[in-house]
């Protein structure tokens, strides 16, 4: 089956894996977007020959226009350019693999254009889950999760009715610092943090996996996607990253999805759904794996997991504050300005100060909470 795809964030870790799926399965790619990497965007455009490319960064858009001057590829610029490209695209499925809050407007554009959304950009749901989900319902647009845990839950929910679900089990690899105490975490370096034990991902999400902020965001993402309270979502540490998540039903049966850790499988599932076609990834050899382990997360050493639940319940602009503060803190950590344990300190201090964000309701108020949080968090990283 040859689908037409649009891939947003095509130059990133998930975007490049989505392109691998497109290459292997000979899907047509008619629109891509990127942030700043015009050299890679050029290489992708020359190979996949999309009708249009959008660069979020205005300078990068001009560079790309120059690089592709011998082609007829249309170049769009800025966030509005990404949204325009989505609107014009003939894609059946749009994969949103943009990093961070910049993914929200494109998510809403995909929904407004009535195309199927394969969503990797979890921040869209973290920041504005209610708005995104209600708009998707209104427009009759399907959101197929690409995040491996949510893809696993989406698949496991096919085994029963919603009223039969007891809880969701969200698995977490635990990141590179599983088992370390708070004191040991004080001495962690950037290089230690980027060495994820099982997944190869972009830098931001790799750091978020190490602080467990990523798992916190995934609780919020799952709560919105599957209309379930975070109180019914259990996080379980599973070092091998083979059971990608599961659903426990009222009869105490647990239905989960097991496979080798490979994001291409999640992208492929989202494109092929509701069908299953031959996989491009490696099969899982259970005997070679031998055993799987499960444990409770240490919420004392990794306080950001609980912060996410709190932000979900406090609602309004609180999840947006959490996300924005984390984006600023992780950037400062990667730049060597703050330590690993400072990430949680900056996020929690920013959150406590901007507690009033819970009264934010409209998209404009949520964006204002995000902006305020960035300002405050930047002060704390100095």
Residues that bind ligand NDP (CB under 6 A): 9-15, 34-37, 56, 97-99, 102, 120-123, 147, 199, 201-202, 204-205, 263
DSSP one-letter string for 180-200: --HHHHTT--HHHHH--SS--
Q: Nearer to ligand NDP by C-beta: 36 or 378?
A: 36
Nearest to 315 by CA among 85, 146, 131, 162: 131
Minimum CB distance to ligand NDP, residue 224 (Å): 14
Minimum CB distance to ligand NDP, residue 378 (Å): 17
Instruction: Provide the 10 A C-beta neighbour count for residue 72.
Output: 8
What residues pair up with 116 in beta bridges, in sequence order? 93
Minimum CB distance to ligand NDP, residue 206 (Å): 8
Helices then strands, each counted (H, E), the chain: 17, 11
CB-based contact 296:150 (threshold 8 Å): no
CB-based contact 168:262 (threshold 8 Å): no
Minimum CB distance to ligand NDP, residue 249 (Å): 26
* Integer angstrom CA distances of residue 79 from 266, 322, 369: 26, 22, 19
Minimum CB distance to ligand NDP, residue 346 (Å): 19
Minimum CB distance to ligand NDP, residue 104 (Å): 10
Q: Nearer to ligand NDP by C-beta: 56 or 321?
A: 56
Q: Nearer to ligand NDP by C-beta: 146 or 357?
A: 146
Q: Nearer to ligand NDP by C-beta: 126 or 228?
A: 126
Minimum CB distance to ligand NDP, residue 323 (Å): 10
Distance, in Å, from the CA atom of 282 to the CA atom of 265, rounded to the nearest integer, reads 9
Q: Nearer to ligand NDP by C-beta: 100 or 317?
A: 100
Q: Nearer to ligand NDP by C-beta: 18 or 255?
A: 18
- Closest-CB residue for ligand NDP? 12
Q: Nearer to ligand NDP by C-beta: 118 or 160?
A: 118
- Which tokens in the block code for residue 140? 């009759």
Give the β-pairing of 93-96 and 74-77. Answer: unpaired
Give the β-pairing of 233-237 and 74-77. Answer: unpaired
Distance, in Å, from the CA atom of 180 to the CA atom of 200, rounded to the nearest integer, reads 21
Distance, in Å, from the CA atom of 111 to the CA atom of 308, rounded to the nearest integer, reads 26
Q: Nearer to ligand NDP by C-beta: 30 or 221?
A: 221
Minimum CB distance to ligand NDP, residue 10 (Å): 6
Distance, in Å, from the CA atom of 223 to the CA atom of 108, rounded to the nearest integer, reads 19
């Amino acid at each position: 089956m040859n689908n037409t795809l649009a891939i947003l964030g095509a130059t990133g870790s998930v975007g490049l894996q989505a392109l691998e799926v497109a290459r292997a399965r000979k899907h047509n790619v008619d629109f891509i977007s990127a942030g700043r990497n015009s050299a890679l965007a050029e290489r992708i455009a020359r190979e996949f020959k999309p009708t249009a490319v959008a660069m979020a960064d205005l300078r990068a858009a001009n560079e790309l226009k120059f690089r592709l001057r011998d082609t007829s590829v249309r170049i769009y610029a800025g966030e509005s350019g990404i949204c325009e490209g989505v609107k014009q695209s003939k894609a059946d499925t749009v994969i949103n693999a943009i990093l961070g809050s910049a993914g929200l407007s494109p998510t809403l554009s995909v929904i407004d254009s009535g195309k199927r959304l394969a969503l990797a950009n979890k921040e869209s749901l973290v920041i504005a889950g209610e708005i995104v989900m209600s708009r998707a319902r209104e427009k009759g647009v399907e959101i197929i999760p690409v995040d491996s845990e949510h893809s696993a839950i989406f698949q496991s929910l096919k085994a029963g009715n919603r009223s039969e679900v007891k809880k969701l089990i969200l698995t977490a690899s635990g990141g590179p610092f599983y088992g370390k105490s708070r004191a040991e975490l004080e001495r962690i370096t950037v290089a230690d943090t980027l060495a994820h034990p099982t997944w190869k991902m972009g830098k931001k999400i790799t750091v978020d996996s190490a602080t467990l902020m990523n798992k916190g965001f995934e609780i919020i993402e799952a709560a919105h996607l599957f209309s379930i309270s975070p109180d019914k979502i259990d996080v379980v540490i599973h070092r091998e990253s083979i059971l990608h998540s599961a659903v426990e039903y009222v009869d105490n049966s647990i239905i989960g999805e097991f496979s080798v850790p490979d994001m291409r499988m999640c992208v492929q599932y989202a494109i092929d759904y509701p069908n299953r076609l031959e996989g491009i990834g490696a099969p899982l050899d259970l005997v070679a794996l031998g055993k799987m382990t499960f444990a409770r997360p240490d919420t004392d050493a990794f306080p950001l997991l609980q912060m996410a639940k709190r932000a979900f319940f406090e609602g309004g602009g609180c999840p947006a504050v959490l996300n924005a503060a984390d984006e600023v803190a992780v950037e400062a950590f990667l730049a060597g300005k703050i330590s690993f344990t400072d990430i949680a300190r900056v996020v929690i201090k920013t959150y406590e100060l901007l507690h009033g964000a819970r009264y934010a309701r409209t998209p404009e108020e949520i964006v204002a909470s995000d902006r305020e949080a960035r300002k405050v968090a930047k002060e704390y990283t100095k």
